Structure 1
Amino acid sequence: MNRPQKYTAFKMGWECIGHHLSGLISEILNREVKCEARQDDYDYWCAFMNDDRFTIVEIADLVEAVNGDKKMYAESIPTDSNTSRSLTMDLTRALLKKALDSDWLEELVREDALWIIGDFPEDRNIMTGPIDWIIHLVGNGMTCAECGKVENPFIKDACNAHTHGMEKYGHPDFQMVLHTNPKDISYILNTLGMRVKNGERFKPGDMVSGIFLDCDVRLDSFEECGRTVLRVIIPDGKNRFPEDPACDYPYSFQTLPLEQLEANGGTCS
């Protein structure tokens, strides 16, 4: 009898995939290569270069690097030119598996990302290495590390949760002011941090998918204790953002400056 089976899925944006491929291909070919990746058809995806081309010799070197067979070699080498802007899907997939040091069972190709599905161990995240930043959460009902008193520095349902450490990637830190479950805060901020670590770059006004299944979040620029951060703005249950007068509380206060969220002076950390 066929029974349901549990697998793990990872969503990798095309920019993230391009970052991984660029690093590995540059290493194999011993020259700087900047690759991009994208969906090329309903179920087809590949890597390509906009401003450069792969030579036949370089493509052969890439096939050899992934231990490709004769079929991969024959399909990867162009027959009508000595160069190519793109690599075949099979070769691109093999390179990505080598870059991630992993394997998977299925793929789901989408316009914004590649979903990788496999029987991964529960503690295995193919897209991440060590988390080398920290998250500070300052919120109501928390005990002060210095005086031992329970603090309530913010208005109801507000907090100041933020990262420290994104500067090593040349990127602003992230912030949340909606006091949800601490595990949810860690998930959101660490997911953004990992995406930066894997090569993505964000700017104010960006709508970011892949955090929640039913909505995008927005990143806005704010000041946090003397530095500029990207604040995560989450829409309410009807996908309304704070600038919409109908936006539900507490989602509606997320675009207020930090000082307006502080009931009793607030603290920086």
Structure 2
Amino acid sequence: MDSRDDTKNWENEMLEKYGWYIHYQTDGNRIDAHTHGLSENFNHPDLQIVLPISHEAVQGIFRELVDQIKEGKVFEEGKRYDAMIGGKYQVEFIKVPESGREVLRILFPDPKGKLPSEEDCDPMYRRQWMH
């Protein structure tokens, strides 16, 4: 069995056990962390994070949002959500293509609380919008 088989087995196990899993890609300059299984198992678009944060932070954020989705919350493109991610941040979502499907990208505010859609957002955080 090669590593692709191991990966596919792990993915299937996670889908069976939890209904979703995280796929994390990076090339050193950019991050693409996204979920699989939300659309099929919870009738909600999968989620994506492109802000360069730790694997642990990505996992915690996705778990928090997926728990809300499992409770019936539906996140929508273009809508701002207050008190998210541990009750601390305002975030918004945009629809983007990812490997032949559409996902909801989570847009995080910069240290001053400005979201990427706002003109005076820090350039590093604004890249989430264009990434």
TM-score, normalization by structure 1 = 0.40
The code of the aligned residue for 2:104 comes to: L
Answer 1 or 2: which has greater helix percent.
2
User: What is the CA–CA distance in structure 2 between the aligned matches of 1:199 and 1:137, rounded to whole Å?
Assistant: 25
Matched, 1:201 2:88: no
User: What is the CA–CA distance in structure 1 between the aligned matches of 2:60 and 2:88, rounded to whole Å?
Assistant: 16
**Total equivalences in the alignment:** 113
User: What is the CA–CA distance in structure 1 between the aligned matches of 2:68 and 2:87, rounded to whole Å?
Assistant: 17
The code of the aligned residue for 1:166 comes to: L
The code of the aligned residue for 1:191 comes to: E
For the 8 Å contact 1:139–1:179, the answer to whether it is kept is no
Structure 2: runs of 5+ lacking an equivalent = 1-16
Q: Which residue of 1 aligns with 2:65?
A: 192
The code of the aligned residue for 1:207 comes to: R
Q: Give me the identity figure in percent.
A: 32
Q: Which residue of 1 aligns with 2:3?
A: none
For the 8 Å contact 1:136–1:162, the answer to whether it is kept is yes
Structure 1: runs of 5+ lacking an equivalent = 1-129, 141-151, 262-269
Q: Considering only CA atoms, is the larger Rg found in Structure 1 or Structure 2?
A: 1
Q: What is the aligned-residue RMSD (CA, Å)?
A: 1.6
User: What is the CA–CA distance in structure 2 between the aligned matches of 1:255 and 1:210, rounded to whole Å?
Assistant: 18
Q: Which residue of 2 aligns with 1:216?
A: 90
Report deviation, 1:243.
2.8
Moved over 4 A (4+): none
Q: Which residue of 1 aligns with 2:103?
A: 229
User: What is the CA–CA distance in structure 2 between the aligned matches of 1:206 and 1:244, rounded to whole Å?
Assistant: 14
Q: Which residue of 2 aligns with 1:163?
A: 35
